[in-house]
Structure 1
Amino acid sequence: MTATANHLSPDSTAPQPAAQAAKLPEVWLRGPLPDLNPLVQPVAHALLQAREELAEALRDFPRELLWARPAGVASVGFHLLHLTGVLNRLLTYARGEALSAEQLAYLAAEGQSGAAGPDVAGLLQAFDAQVERALAQLRATDEPTLRETRAVGRAGLPSTMLGLLVHAAEHTMRHLGQLLVTARVLRG
């Protein structure tokens, strides 16, 4: 998928050209997604909305601004790395698994990347791929498991599978908003 073609038709998750997507309502107003339990639809809708908004907002975003930190806020690049990483981690906890060494290394690197790091297209592709993995996991989620307790982090703090999935959507949208404001400020 390209960064400019991550838009959904009303009845699928198939990419649509940006011009067509601009005419569509927000993802949550396009109806149910196929093969997805209604209880996790809002999670999928939020992730797909984030993917669309990122593609639109970062079209032709200058690489030289990717790691800029206006007024000391987190960079667009950090938010893109974090969006992918935290979604991966929260879905791991939702499956009842501990983080791998690779995930811990990614977490440590989120705040360390800079001008030599990935470009906008690469970061968007990584997020797109993570959203696709999330959608696959949501489709495979059995409703009774949504209430099951899940441990979060090294401290093993209690949550539920549904709590983790909802937080994945909420956290994604929170960082999307921060990224959109930072990108707009940087573009002047």
Structure 2
Amino acid sequence: MSPPEEYWLSGPIPEIPALLQPAAHALLQSVREVKEYVSDFPEEKLWEKPFGRAAVGFHLRHLSGVLDRLLTYAKEESLTEAQFQFLKNEGNGEKAPSLQQLILDFEQKVGEALAYFKTIPETILTEQRFVGRKKLPTTVIGLLFHAAEHSQRHVGQLLVTVSVLKNQ
């Protein structure tokens, strides 16, 4: 059986504005690849840091956390104390969820992102937004594009870390 087409080759996602299709496709691809890469990953290695690099658990937590934060900024909202706590603990393996829960959390956050995309009129995509305490300027589409490409970047790092740990 041949692997499924990548999301960007599978046509438009219903109700997602045309200009957000690439970001939606990249997020869905990220979920698919995470599931593939960690399908037989040993739970006991979830928080190992090979060569001092970030753990698989960190990448999975960070995927959910950064997506949540970027969506908050896109909505012109401020981060909550809970979001700051989540950020602080992304790399902490103590009391961390299981591998399967981390995957489910990311998949759920992508679902929330896609639901949000469906509510966005294309006319606001170039509206200015601000990031962080320094209020760094960007746009709605800049935030959403970055959410997608940042997810893909961490999925790539996760793949390398998984490969190293599985072959130790």
Q: TM-score, normalised by structure 1?
A: 0.86
Q: How does 1:19-34 map to 2 (within 5 A)?
A: 23-34=3-14
Of Structure 1 and Structure 2, the greater helix share is in 2
Shift of 1:109: 0.9
SS class of match (1:40) = helix
Shift of 1:23: 2.8
Across the aligned residues of Structure 1 and Structure 2, the Cα RMSD in angstroms comes to 1.1
SS class of match (1:68) = coil
Looking at structure 1, the residues matched to 38 and 87 of structure 2 have their Cα atoms a distance apart, in angstroms, of 23
Q: How does 1:142-157 map to 2 (within 5 A)?
A: 142-157=121-136
Structure 2: gaps (5+ residues) = none
Is 2:156 the counterpart of 1:177? yes
> Could you give the per-residue CA deviations for residues 72-104 of structure 1, whole angstroms, max 9, x where no partner exists?
000000000000000000010011111011111
Looking at structure 1, the residues matched to 63 and 93 of structure 2 have their Cα atoms a distance apart, in angstroms, of 16
How many residues align structurally? 167
Shift of 1:115: 5.3
Is 2:142 the counterpart of 1:166? no
> Is the 1:93–1:164 contact (alpha carbons within 8 Å) kept by the matching residues of 2?
yes
**Farther-moved stretch of structure 1 (77-86 vs 55-64):** 55-64
Corresponding residue for residue 94 of structure 1: 74
**Greater RCO, CA 8 A, separation 6+:** 2
Q: How does 1:58-69 map to 2 (within 5 A)?
A: 58-69=38-49
> Is the 1:67–1:115 contact (alpha carbons within 8 Å) kept by the matching residues of 2?
no
> Could you give the per-residue CA deviations for residues 44-82 of structure 1, whole angstroms, max 9, x where no partner exists?
000000000001111121111100101000000000000
Runs of at least 4 residues off by over 4 Å: none
Looking at structure 2, the residues matched to 115 and 62 of structure 1 have their Cα atoms a distance apart, in angstroms, of 17
> Is the 1:147–1:161 contact (alpha carbons within 8 Å) kept by the matching residues of 2?
yes
What code does the residue aligned with 1:34 have? P
Is 2:54 the counterpart of 1:74? yes
Corresponding residue for residue 3 of structure 1: none
Corresponding residue for residue 127 of structure 1: 106
Looking at structure 2, the residues matched to 154 and 107 of structure 1 have their Cα atoms a distance apart, in angstroms, of 14
> Could you give the per-residue CA deviations for residues 4-26 of structure 1, whole angstroms, max 9, x where no partner exists?
xxxxxxxxxxxxxxx7xx53210
Looking at structure 2, the residues matched to 122 and 100 of structure 1 have their Cα atoms a distance apart, in angstroms, of 22
Looking at structure 2, the residues matched to 176 and 135 of structure 1 have their Cα atoms a distance apart, in angstroms, of 18
Q: TM-score, normalised by structure 2?
A: 0.96
Shift of 1:114: 1.4
Looking at structure 2, the residues matched to 168 and 72 of structure 1 have their Cα atoms a distance apart, in angstroms, of 25
